[in-house]
Amino acid sequence: MQTLKVKKDSVVKSVAGAIAGECRKEGECEIIAIGPAAVNQAVKAIATARGFAVQDGYDFTAIPTFTEVEVENEKKSAIKFSVKKI
């Protein structure tokens, strides 16, 4: 499964396109975001991707989980969204 990393300066429409494309192909993807601004971009991207998906006759659910990721040898807490086509 594809894991998309979203940053605070990620472009919402680009991430949304990646989510929609991945879910169309594979049925699901994961999104990792560290920090409030990145989490916000991720949520906006999921909401935007739903707009793309509706045109193709499907929708997404997103399930958020706490996780840890290693960035430059440092453990950081992050949010992982499991996005699934429905």
- For residue 24 the two structure tokens come to 């169309």
Q: Which residue matches tokens 């440092």?
A: 74
> Please, which of residues 41-80 interact with a second copy by CB under 8 A?
43-44, 46-48, 50, 59-66, 79
Q: Is the dihedral of CA 82, 69, 41, 15 positive or negative?
A: negative
Q: Which is nearer to a second copy, 17 or 35 (CB)?
A: 35
Residue 5, SS3 per DSSP:
strand
Q: How far apart are CB 25 and a second copy at their closest, in Å?
A: 21
Residues that bind a second copy (CB under 8 A): 35-37, 39-40, 43-44, 46-48, 50, 59-66, 79
